[in-house]
């Protein structure tokens, strides 16, 4: 399948080029040039299929032309070795729990899938070792590092700002060893990102080693996120329900919701979407006014959604031919302050005995406020509440249980390489490898 650039100035790319490059040469985002509809029988029998079987069908529609069937099945099965349960919270609101993977957040799905797909292309091309550089403010680093852990032919360098990520987050990418190296930068997240950008632009460095990025705009990271929307529907059908779902996605860079929009285009019966924002409500404002005005992000307690210029907005526009009325018909918005998020977490914990994380809380609240009485809603619970331990315990006034997976990270030994924010130092380090 061909992938075109949302900026329209680059020539079409193959899947391999799109995955290896990440971004098109005109700085646009890659989009598949066709979105295949899945047949009626698939949806009729979906409740009899496992998560892996469903994902294989969806993956085949995207990647089947470019990857041998056996390899693709293997990649899907290796990626999805954990469950994504649909849990009722109230009579008409369900939580799709995306936090049962290795780092307890939904980015595990895309991170693991991309690692395996890139590993396949590298092996096929007989390339020498490829080096993935990723700058993180916390969550992306852990999902990418754990996704790539042990994948042959790839070494990952995670750059993170010293003292600016939580201990739990830090442990998730500094304790792994093997092909993962953590680089602790004496600076901010922006400094980390600047180091990565400079590295990609430095000719001498690129002659010395093969560099690539594992940014969330990569098609191999965002497209596989469509799998769990289908699985939500399968579980819902198993309950004997037939009504179309209203799906609410706590959104930051809009990769997750875009994967859901793809699922709907493939025939999944989703009635409409709600994009839930925190105070970084650029998309919400767009829905109100028709104007897209990016602005610097502000810090909130749902910090994985602190994005001031959502990169996947370009994909949302491309999906609907840039039509504001169509986008407004498909997606409505919501925006919440930290106080509202905290209030929702407290209330749902008390009244329904369900513990939300700050991101999922935005999703829950948007459904609670917007569902019609006859509608059924599903929100994506994007991370385990224990990932935000201090915030969550402070809000609910109770101790919470830390899952064994998280505990295991906490017990690992931190290993990192200290680095200044000076590109010359980072370059010298990479040149010495
Ligand atoms: C990344 C992330 C989000 C936002 O997802 P996008 O695809 O960027 O919209 C929401 N919640 C959590 C916990 C995340 O890690």
Atom of ligand 1 nearest to the CA of 143: 15
Q: Is the dihedral of CA 306, 24, 326, 262 positive or negative?
A: negative
Range of the domain at 341: 83-105+222-402
User: Probe ligand 1: pick from 105, 221, 282, 356, max atoms within 8 Å of CB?
Assistant: 105
Residue 106 has pLDDT above 80, yes or no: yes
Q: Quick check: is 302 in a domain?
A: yes
Could you tell me how many helices (H) and strands (E) the chain has, helices first?
A: 20, 13
Q: Quick check: is 378 in a domain?
A: yes
Q: Quick check: is 167 in a domain?
A: no
Q: Quick check: is 16 in a domain?
A: no
Q: Quick check: is 160 in a domain?
A: no
* Intra-chain end-to-end CA distance of the chain, in Å: 36
Q: What pLDDT score was predicted for residue 138?
A: 79
> What does the pLDDT average to over 199-215?
90
Distance 36 CA to ligand 1 centre (A): 26
Q: Quick check: is 145 in a domain?
A: no
Q: What pLDDT score was predicted for residue 371?
A: 96
Total number of domains constituting the chain: 1
**How many angstroms from the chain centroid is the CA of residue 147?**
12
Residue 183: which H helix or E strand, with range?
strand 180-185
For position 348, which CATH number holds?
3.40.50.1100
106: left (phi over 0), alpha (psi -120 to 50) or beta: alpha
Q: How far is 317 from 154, CA to CA, in rounded Å? A: 34
Q: Quick check: is 64 in a domain?
A: no
Q: What pLDDT score was predicted for residue 345?
A: 98
In this prediction, what percent of the chain has a pLDDT beyond 90? Answer: 86
Range from 65-69, 196-200, 336-340 carrying the lowest mean pLDDT: 196-200
> What does the pLDDT average to over 231-250?
94
Tell me if the pTM is above 0.85.
Answer: yes
User: Probe ligand 1: pick from 219, 250, 363, max atoms within 8 Å of CB?
Assistant: 250
Report in angstroms the alpha-carbon separations of 348 from 242, 363, 383, 402: 26, 12, 16, 19
Distance 249 CA to ligand 1 centre (A): 9
Residue 215 has pLDDT above 80, yes or no: no
Instruction: Give tens-digit pLDDT for 344-375.
Output: 999 999 999 999 999 999 999 999 999 999 99
Confidence bin at 193 (pLDDT 50/70/90): confident
> What does the pLDDT average to over 302-318?
93
> What does the pLDDT average to over 130-136?
92
In this prediction, what percent of the chain has a pLDDT beyond 70? Answer: 100
Q: Quick check: is 264 in a domain?
A: yes
Q: What pLDDT score was predicted for residue 361?
A: 98
């Amino acid at each position: 399948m061909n992938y075109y650039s949302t900026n329209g100035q680059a020539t079409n790319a193959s899947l391999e080029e799109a995955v290896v490059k990440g971004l098109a040469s005109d700085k646009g985002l890659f989009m598949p040039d066709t979105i295949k509809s899945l047949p009626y029988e698939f949806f009729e029998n979906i409740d009899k299929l496992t998560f892996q079987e469903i994902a294989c069908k969806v993956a085949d529609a995207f990647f089947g032309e470019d990857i041998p069937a056996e390899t693709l099945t293997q990649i899907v099965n290796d990626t999805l070795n954990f469950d994504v349960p649909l849990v009722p919270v109230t009579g008409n609101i369900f939580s799709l729990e995306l936090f049962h993977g290795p780092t307890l957040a939904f980015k595990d799905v895309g991170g693991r899938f991309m690692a395996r797909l890139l590993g396949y292309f590298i092996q096929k091309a007989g390339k020498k070792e490829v080096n993935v550089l990723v700058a993180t403010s916390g969550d992306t680093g852990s999902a990418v590092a754990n996704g790539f852990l042990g994948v042959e032919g790839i070494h990952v360098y995670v750059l993170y700002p010293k003292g600016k990520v939580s201990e739990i987050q830090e442990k998730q990418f500094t304790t792994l060893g093997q092909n993962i190296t953590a680089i602790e930068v004496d600076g901010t997240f922006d400094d980390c990102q600047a180091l990565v950008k400079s590295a990609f632009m430095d000719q001498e460095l690129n002659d010395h080693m093969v560099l690539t990025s594992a940014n969330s705009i990569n098609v191999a990271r965002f497209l596989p996120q469509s799998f769990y929307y289908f699985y939500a529907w399968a579980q819902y059908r198993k309950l004997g329900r037939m009504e179309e779902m209203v799906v609410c996605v706590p959104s930051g860079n809009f990769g997750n919701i875009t994967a859901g929009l793809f699922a709907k285009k493939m025939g999944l019966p989703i009635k409409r979407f709600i994009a839930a924002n925190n105070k970084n409500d650029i998309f919400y404002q767009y829905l109100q006014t028709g104007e897209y005005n990016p602005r610097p992000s502000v810090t909130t307690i749902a910090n994985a959604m602190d994005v001031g210029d959502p990169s996947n907005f370009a994909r949302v526009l491309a999906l609907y031919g840039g039509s504001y009325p169509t986008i407004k018909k498909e997606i409505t918005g919501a925006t919440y302050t930290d106080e509202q998020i905290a209030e929702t977490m407290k209330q749902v914990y008390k009244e329904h005995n369900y513990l939300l994380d700050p991101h999922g809380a935005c999703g829950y609240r948007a459904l609670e406020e917007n569902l019609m009485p006859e509608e059924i809603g599903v929100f994506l619970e994007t991370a385990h509440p224990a990932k935000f331990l201090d915030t969550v315990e402070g809000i609910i006034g109770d101790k919470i249980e830390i899952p064994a997976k998280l505990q295991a990270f906490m017990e690992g030994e931190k290993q990192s390489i200290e680095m200044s924010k000076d590109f010359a130092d980072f370059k010298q380090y990479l040149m010495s490898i």
